[in-house]
Amino acid sequence: MKDKNVTVIVGCHWGDEGKGRAAFFESKDASIVVRSTGGNNAGHTIVYKGKKYAMHLIPGGIIRKNVLSIIGPGVVVDTDVLIDEIKMLKEAGINITPDKLAISGRAHLILPYHKDLDRLQEVLKGDAKVGTTGRGIGPAYADKTNRIGIRAYDLLLPEEEIYAKVELAVEVHNRLFKAVSGFEECVVNPKEIVNKLVENAKVLREFIVNTDKIISKALENNDKIVIEGAQAYRLDIDHGDYPMVTSSSPNTSGTLSGIGIGPRYVDKVIGVTKAYCSRVGNGPFFTEEDNEIGDIIRKLGHEYGTTTGRPRRCGWLDCVILKSAKTTMGIDYLCLNHLDTIGKIGNTIGEVKVCIAYEYLNKVITYIPDDIEITLLKPTPIYETIKGGWRVNPKCKSYDDLPIKAKQFIELVEKYSGLPVKYIGFGADNKDTIVR
Ligand code: IMO
Ligand code: MG
């Protein structure tokens, strides 16, 4: 009997690769879907049976009838956002009951002052700002690490006990808010926070449980679990472009740790990538086209943030990053999205490029140099080019149905990433997926 039934979905570049869609696709025969890292800095769009769902916290598998969605201990939860998301799903006709949604009591909460702190830190950093989503992610994780965070379990406590925890948590922050000009009005009144928590607890308390019990049982029964990773390899706090990263560990191990599943249960790790690259916020992006080519990619790929609406920086697919993600993230297969879009880009621009190596310090390299701040040299991408573009037939069912140039593109990606492309997305809808 197969004793590994966990699928992990992770992002290979800087997010927005289509992880939500890949996880939803994989969840068709799953019992449980999980979000285990990040918070509502994620924006995962799913199009299913003609309906579009823009998700930020709850894993997309919630849309399916017999799947339990879990928000794991590694997630930071903004309770206002979660309540809005539950409401949105209910309005879309999805039943949200405790046998459909479970929130780990150990998940930490994002509170309004975390969003103010996020803003404040960006202001203090000036030109060195990260370009965060402003959702309070970093400050919430910082409070967690400082062991003054407020957890979902705290929502189940009597009011005076919540008050004591919040009072302790905001003491240091209030000193900072008082000291920085323009932020005086952000000084936190613990009572207001507690009132909000007590109010939100009324809606959420039925979902707050010990998710470990559910996960252990599912692993013992060999039920399929899909983990919908958030953020991506280059945004990882340890392995990404520090300091231009998020505050969690969206690599595969971090994603597993965020729910509490040991690696021995993993059946497959799917790395999700687009057929081009995009990045929101600041930080290195060697294949960026900060010009009319980037504008064309943005327009054809609809590259505007689901979470913030910000226009994304756009450029060519970077296979050096994919190659490095293969080992750091332990990826088995790639899911390559936007194969239709890159074909359109080729038709518009006259060519499609794939970065296969960098030139750096007068050498050709196929690893990510993490010392560029020391050398002050930016690696120059080396490309392979396919002339022209292609059109993917929206009715296509298999790899064989794809145009020759689209196949050539996929072969290039496989050659230079060292990874098999097993899933191909050629449209926004869940059904626009080829499995090889
Ligand atoms: P999904 O799951 C794209 C980026 C932000 C910023 C940096 C730090 O949809 O792929 P944060 O608010 O996390 O402190 O911001 O990380 N970022 C994302 N970019 N997709 C995401 O998630 C992201 N989550 C964080 O833009 O550069
Ligand atoms: Mg996103």
**Mean pLDDT along residues 42-68:** 96
What does the pLDDT read at residue 307? 73
What angle, rounded to 10 degrees, do the helices at 292-301 and 339-349 form?
A: 140
Checking if the pLDDT of 198 tops 80, the result is: yes
| H-assigned helices in 245-393 | 252-257, 292-301, 319-328, 339-349, 372-375
Our mutation pick for probing the ligand 1 site, out of 231, 255, 282, counting the most ligand atoms within 8 A of Cβ, is 231
**Domain 275-435 class in CATH:** alpha beta
Token couple for 141: 């994780």
Residue 314, strand partner residues: 278
Residue from 123, 173, 119, 178 nearest 146 by CA: 173
Checking if the pLDDT of 158 tops 80, the result is: yes
Checking if the pLDDT of 299 tops 60, the result is: yes
The per-residue pLDDT for range 78-111, each reduced to its tens digit, is: 999 999 999 999 999 999 999 999 999 999 999 9
Checking if the pLDDT of 1 tops 80, the result is: no
**Mean pLDDT along residues 5-32:** 97
> Distance between CA 48 and CA 55 in Å, rounded?
13
| H-assigned helices in 158-317 | 159-179, 190-204, 211-221, 252-257, 292-301
Checking if the pLDDT of 126 tops 70, the result is: yes
Which helix (H) or strand (E) is 346 found in, with range?
helix 339-349
Residue from 100, 78, 409, 393 nearest 273 by CA: 409
Sequence ranges of the chain with CATH classification 3.90.170.10: 275-435
Token couple for 272: 């999700």
pTM of structure: 0.97
Residue from 415, 427, 423, 430 nearest 398 by CA: 423
Q: Which residues does a 6 A CB cutoff place in the pocket of ligand 1?
A: 11, 14-16, 19, 41-44, 130-133, 135, 137-138, 230-232, 235, 246-247, 280-281
State the ligand closest to the CA atom of 278.
1
Sequence ranges of the chain with CATH classification 3.40.440.10: 6-104+208-266
153 to 157, 288, 319, 396: CA distances (angstroms): 7, 43, 43, 48
- In degrees and rounded to multiples of 5, residue 399 shows phi and psi of -55, -40
Bridge-based pairing state of the strands 333-337 and 266-274: parallel
- Selected from 1.10.3720.10, 1.10.300.10, 1.10.10.2520, 1.20.120.450, the CATH number assigned to the domain covering 108-203 reads 1.10.300.10
Token couple for 317: 């697919």
**386 CA distance to ligand 1 middle (Å):** 31
335 to 99, 170, 280, 419: CA distances (angstroms): 30, 43, 21, 10
Closest atom of ligand 1 to CA, residue 138: 14
Share of residues in the chain with pLDDT > 70 (%): 100
Residue from 42, 34, 101 nearest 72 by CA: 34
The per-residue pLDDT for range 267-279, each reduced to its tens digit, is: 999 999 999 999 9
What does the pLDDT read at residue 2? 66
Which residue CA neighbors atom 23 of ligand 1 most closely? 231
> Distance between CA 317 and CA 412 in Å, rounded?
11
**Mean pLDDT value across the chain:** 97
State the ligand closest to the CA atom of 130.
1
What does the pLDDT read at residue 309? 84
> Distance between CA 340 and CA 225 in Å, rounded?
30
98 to 43, 68, 205, 261: CA distances (angstroms): 23, 9, 10, 21
Please state, as a whole number, how many other Cβ atoms lie within 10 Å of the Cβ of residue 173: 21
The per-residue pLDDT for range 420-436, each reduced to its tens digit, is: 999 999 999 999 999 99
Cis peptide before 243 (omega within 30 of 0): yes
Which residue CA neighbors atom 16 of ligand 1 most closely? 246
**213 CA distance to ligand 2 middle (Å):** 30
> Distance between CA 343 and CA 334 in Å, rounded?
18
Token couple for 172: 């240091």
The per-residue pLDDT for range 325-373, each reduced to its tens digit, is: 999 999 999 999 999 999 999 999 999 999 999 999 999 999 999 999 8
**413 CA distance to ligand 2 middle (Å):** 23
Which helix (H) or strand (E) is 103 found in, with range?
strand 101-104
**Mean pLDDT along residues 127-131:** 96
- Selected from 3.30.70.870, 3.40.440.10, 3.40.250.10, 3.30.1490.190, the CATH number assigned to the domain covering 6-104+208-266 reads 3.40.440.10
Checking if the pLDDT of 160 tops 80, the result is: yes
Sequence ranges of the chain with CATH classification 1.10.300.10: 108-203
Checking if the pLDDT of 3 tops 90, the result is: no
What does the pLDDT read at residue 305? 86
Note whether 414 and 421 are within 8 A (CB): yes
Token couple for 88: 């949105």
Q: Give the 3-state secondary structure of residue 273.
A: strand
**306 CA distance to ligand 2 middle (Å):** 6
Residue from 317, 242, 228 nearest 18 by CA: 228
